[in-house]
Structure 1
Amino acid sequence: MDASPSSTDRALSSVVSTVLLVAVVLFAAAGVGLFVFDLGQSATASPPPKAAFETANTSSGVAITYSGGEPADPSRLRVVVDDPDGTVSSGTWDTLGGTASDGQVTAGDSLTLSGSDGDETLQLIWESADGGGSYPLLSWTGTGGAGTPSYTFQGTTSTGDGFGDAIEFSAEAWDARGRYGDSAGGGSTELQIRDGGNNPLATTGHDWSAGTEESFSLRYYSSNSTAVLTVDGDTVSSASVTDPGDRFTVTVKARSSSPPSSQSVTVDSLALNGSSIGATDGISEDGTTGSADQQYLLVEPGNADLSDGFVITGTVTFDWAGGTPNSETLAFTIDFEQP
């Protein structure tokens, strides 16, 4: 019997070989496709959250507080510390004991670096979850002691009647303000950040209490063009502001119309970057001062470049009696000149 392969066997073997070769090629192509797709995915880094942070020296150590913005994963926030004393370590927000509401870092959450004494240098960095990159969110250099300001105000102040921005500036960059809007009804637009055309960029609510002095802060972060206004724990922020010029005004408004029978606004204890702006560090209006229902304080820092970032702090008091204020009869506004 002839054991050599027939022409039919050889033809069948050729077909099988061709099918197997095609299968191998398809499988290899599929593998390459998956590999390339995976590379494409990993090459795209997840962007950092739009967020604003602030720092302060406290008796317990340097505190970092999330002022406002998008929620952030605490495991992606890394604090890199350079400490001459070697007592403060670097780490992520969660491993260093920072708070995180519902598993995310949101406005009001904070981290205190225990053992810090104010002579450290630190960076807060966002690390992409896919390893695609890292982004600095905050840099801070200590001044060598808790509460010691690194800046001393050397500028000038002056006062006048009317809206400060309209009188002093040829153009306005942006402003931040607090007002008695619809507070009696659980107001939602009591705190605002607006552009140079007075168009709201961000708003939030605040419940005013007659005669109560409330602390406020206004921060500008040049790295991400973010402004954050906080009044007694309520915060509004916008990442759409422009660089401010070299001057700002603080305007207070209290209309003389009634009801109520009396009303007033007082802004006091103003400080720039931790330094008092001088003897005239406040302004008030009760609807009878001067020739207008508004008074303003013009601040010209002189030795501070506001476009590099700043913090303005102070207190504000809305007071009224004999009725409820109408919408916007009480307000204070901090306006910045357009460069």
Structure 2
Amino acid sequence: MTQYSIHDLVPVREGGTVATALADTAAYARQAEAHGYSRYWIAEHHGMPGIAGGATSVVIGHVAAATSRIRVGAGGIMLPNHAPLVVAEQFGTLDALFPGRIDLGLGRAPGSDQRTARALRRSLESDPNGFPNDVMELQSYFADDGQTGIRAVPGAGADVAIWILGSSLFGAQLAAMLGLPYAFASHFAPDALDQAIAIYRRDFRPSAALERPHVMAGFNVFAADTDEEARYLASSMEQSFVALRTGNPGKMQPPVRDYRASLGPQGAAMLEQVLSCSAIGSPATVRREIAAFVERTGVDELMIAGATYDPEARLRSIALTAEAMQELKLAA
């Protein structure tokens, strides 16, 4: 049975506030927990007025405190922005507060523009190509094996599950080499998905963390009572993608009927490509599209994205998606 989880950017709606976005995220996490989702992940982004998850470890604590069982984590922490020791301390603290529930997905993208990255790091001397060494340094702090000569307090001995994230072949190769679970960002960068999965599975080396490959793939789901309503709800996220791709990111906008048609052929084709790993529609449509994606990829877990402008619509989509996953389980 494929596991199913939630990916959340903590979107700030037009007319809303960061405080409202954080309250909505807690409500979504409680709904996800009630419907059997495995994890709830927050992504690190900076300098974007429509995304409130920049202080990712703080938001993870907020979500974990609002729930009781579901695993909560980062999807992900952009490790070049941070000293590994700081990340070990932050996530060691989270593990002490919420034992056995914390995931740490690691990526090497900046999660921002270069100017913002410089402000985060105070310089750009940290090398994204040093990402593998940073991951192993972080593992060493959690293992408390003395290799760095420094003890992370908190952090030493913490039970934090590390994942490698990626949207290219690099992450697949690293996750395979280190024997770690791998998550591919196909919900917005689907092009290399099949090749990355094949490389990860082919080259995977068992480790103390993981005996066999475990693949997660990002997948957008907008579930509603009808296909038409789901397409309408999805238009808020589509507007966000277009705004980002045209260099004008902002708060999440209200949905628009027939939004793709208003873009013209080029804009519509761009959205069709970037959101090709998606299920948008009624429960029957969503169930069919999820089943086809899982059959094609053989993924062990779906990380479901799909923010809506209306919080109630998001809660409804989370519930309908869980029902679809359970029906697929029964049919298997």
User: How high is the TM-score relative to the length of structure 1?
Assistant: 0.23
> Is the radius of gyration larger for structure 1 or structure 2?
1
Structure that is richer in strand per residue: 1
Structure that is richer in helix per residue: 2
